[in-house]
Amino acid sequence: MGTKELGWSAAKFSAVRFLALALSVSTAAVAPLAHAANAVDAKKTRDKVVEYNQQALVSYEAKDFETAKSLLNKALKEAKQAGLDDDKMTARTYLHLGAVYWTGFQDRGQASQNFSLAKKIRPDIQLTPSIETPDLKSIFDSASAEVETAPAPAPVKTASSKSSSHPQPRAAAVPVESTGEGDDEPALPSTMSAPLMCGVPEAVPPGKDMSIRCALKPGINAKVVQLHYRVPGEEAYQVTQMKKTPVGWWVGVLPGHVMKAGTLQIYFDARSSADKELATNGQVDSPSIIAVRQKGSGGGRGGDEDDPMKRIRDEQRDAEYEAGLHRRRQGAVWVGVGFGSGFGYAPAGKLEWRKIQVSAVTAPVGMFHLLPEVGFLWSENFALAAQGIIEFIRQDQLQGDSGPTYSGAPANFGWALLGRAIFLTDLGSGNFQFSFAGEAGAGYLRIPVAPLKGKTVTDDQGTHLDPGSTIYKTDTRLIGTGLAGVSAGFTYHISRHFALAVDGRVLMGVPSFGAMLEGWASAQLAFGGRAGPAQAVEEGEGEGEGEGPGPSNEAAPSSDSPPEPSSDPSSEGE
């Protein structure tokens, strides 16, 4: 039966076939794009889940278990809505929630159920090292990967839930709490270890606006909270006012045009209506540092999604290391004086004063050396210095024969001036350093040649020493005038203003060829340099005064980028 018998024309049939083909091609083209879009959304959600876990662990360590539970519930809600039910970070979230239920609320049933949900997704999952305790591990080990039901959902604390006696259950397997002002904004921490806490990221991408949140300790009635920032290459800080949200956070935005490759320095302060400083987070001379770089460009520690507290512990360790340093810091100028001696070599040649030809000489270079020095610490690991060498030579006379009278006198000192490029490496606590330097300069260093009897000759004046081969007074072999060499040594900083050092070097000279092996010890006095981090204070000191051991950033999250909050070592254990 032909198409005409069915009432179809050939043209209509061709049009239908064309439309069907076009539809199939469009579907094939759109499907990969939709898959790619879903993958991007899933990654963003996963990053947000990681961030919630990091914030929750900060609250966990501060024993603010309500906030920790709320943040983990929000993480599970995000994961569920994005279809990440079987993601390993969802399993990690269940594990953290189980720890909160046991450690914070002594609810073994809820703890076991959440541990079981974690094991169901990842049978090989283990407790996060930062929260592991013997009793928690016992409950975790006893939890089975088989669960009949998830923990019962709880009503959501929103305006709609108040007006309804039968709230709809949430999709999350555990209760989800809300601030009542929108789930995108977390609740304020119930426990605060510093007057002003801010979420400062370690690294951000360039060219994008970045929001930063701060929280003020209850009882501090600030009129304004200000964000001060300084971009690379500029001396002055710029100031932007932060806005207070309905929940109580103070939010400031760093514009994208200041987010240039390099480092951005920021600090915060809260002020009263009379412009009196009430609290600070960082200072002009000890700001927080943000690295602005493309993702994957290096320079960071990298993440550890199985232990979101790892970076916080790393930062605490770095802060403790910095606080323990009492050596001079970048920008310092030092003056020093050293005392030492050397041993030299000069090939066969003529003496400097009497011009007598002698064989190769190997001998001490003078009695001792004084080494004055002035230096500038260009960075924490590099310095420039100018050093002088003053060599003292003892003059001896040939016993029994003073010889003929000659004009002039042999040299009784040598000198040199050297420029030094010094590379420094911290050893141990950082107050003990190893140094390596390249050196070049000019001067006249001299190897003394002791008096020596020459040949005995007999002439019309009788038998006597040959003046042409006898050294009647201490003479010298010259090394220089151009000098170059390398040195290495150790420096111990007793304080940021005083240090002791021992060094050794090899120095060679031209055109009067020779070499010297020298060693010396020195004392150095330093001035200036940037301020290091303040030493940690005892718990409870400075409470409510805005003065503290430095930036305390352990609680407040950034709203539009995934920075992790940094924790102040002095607040540990509060």
Give the pLDDT confidence of 32-44 residue by residue, as tens digits.
Answer: 544 545 556 788 8
Q: What is the pLDDT of residue 146?
A: 58
**CATH pick for 192-323+535-571 out of 3.30.565.10, 3.30.70.141, 2.60.40.10, 3.40.50.300:** 2.60.40.10
Give the pLDDT confidence of 248-284 residue by residue, as tens digits.
Answer: 899 999 888 888 777 888 999 999 999 899 999 888 8
Is 90 exceeded by the pLDDT of residue 401?
no
- Among the listed residues 150, 529, 178, the one whose alpha carbon sits nearest the alpha carbon of residue 334: 529
- What is the full DSSP assignment across 122-159? -TT----GGG--HHHHHHHHH--S--SSPPPP----SH
Q: What is the pLDDT of residue 174?
A: 30
Give the pLDDT confidence of 97-119 residue by residue, as tens digits.
Answer: 999 999 988 888 889 899 999 99
Whole-angstrom CA distances from 332 to 388, 435, 528 are 20, 16, 5
Q: What is the pLDDT of residue 438?
A: 97
Type of residue found at 430:
G
467 touches 517 (CB < 8 A)? no
Cα separation of 207 and 41, whole Å?
A: 21
What proportion of the chain, given as a percentage, has pLDDT over 90?
A: 36
How is the chain split into domains, by residue range?
Answer: 33-142, 192-323+535-571, 332-528
What kind and span of H or E run contains 370? strand 368-379
The class that CATH gives domain 33-142 is: mainly alpha
> Peptide bond before 481: cis, by omega within 30 degrees of 0?
yes
What are the φ/ψ torsions at residue 48 (nearest 5 degrees)?
Answer: -70, -35
Is 90 exceeded by the pLDDT of residue 434?
yes
Cα separation of 225 and 236, whole Å?
A: 19
**Strand pairing of 413-427 and 382-392?**
antiparallel
Is 60 exceeded by the pLDDT of residue 234?
yes
Is 80 exceeded by the pLDDT of residue 147?
no
- Among the listed residues 231, 237, 191, the one whose alpha carbon sits nearest the alpha carbon of residue 215: 191
User: Could you say which architecture CATH assigns to the domain 332-528?
Assistant: Beta Barrel (2.40)
pTM, to two decimals: 0.45
